[in-house]
Amino acid sequence: MITSKQRAKLRGMAQTIEPIVHIGKDGITENLVRQADDALTARELIKGTVQQNSSLTAREACDELAETLGAEGVSVLGRKFVLYRRSKEEKIEI
């Protein structure tokens, strides 16, 4: 569990990164989960976006992905969300 101070720092760091996970009309598929898992392993902090044609909201997508991947939802704003999962090497110091 991350503290509110750590969450604020991660939110600030996420402002400069581009979304790499895009959820469309198919929702959260097995392939999308694998892509997000690989990205979290490599980066620890990822940003995702929910397309307008998706049946999910950004909050629902963030919560579902976080639970599936063992990550933490950092923020949800509009159609974008940010996930964080600490890796063994700890690339990001929070």
CATH of the domain at 80: 3.30.110.60
Residue 93 lies inside a defined structural domain of this protein: no
Residue % of the chain over a pLDDT of 70: 99
What local confidence, expressed as pLDDT, does residue 88 receive? 76
Q: Residue 28 falls within a domain, yes or no?
A: yes
| 13 falls within a domain | yes
User: Residue 91's closest CA among 60, 45, 56?
Assistant: 45
Q: Is the pLDDT of residue 91 over 90?
A: no
Domain count, the chain: 1
77, part of any domain: yes
Q: In this predicted model, what pLDDT tens digit does every residue of 14-44 receive, in sequence order?
A: 999 999 999 999 999 999 999 999 999 999 9
55 is a domain residue:
yes
Q: What is the mean pLDDT of residues 47-71?
A: 96
In a domain, 94, yes or no: no
Is 0.85 surpassed by the pTM of this model?
Answer: yes
End-to-end Cα, the chain, rounded Å: 12
Parent domain of 29: 4-84
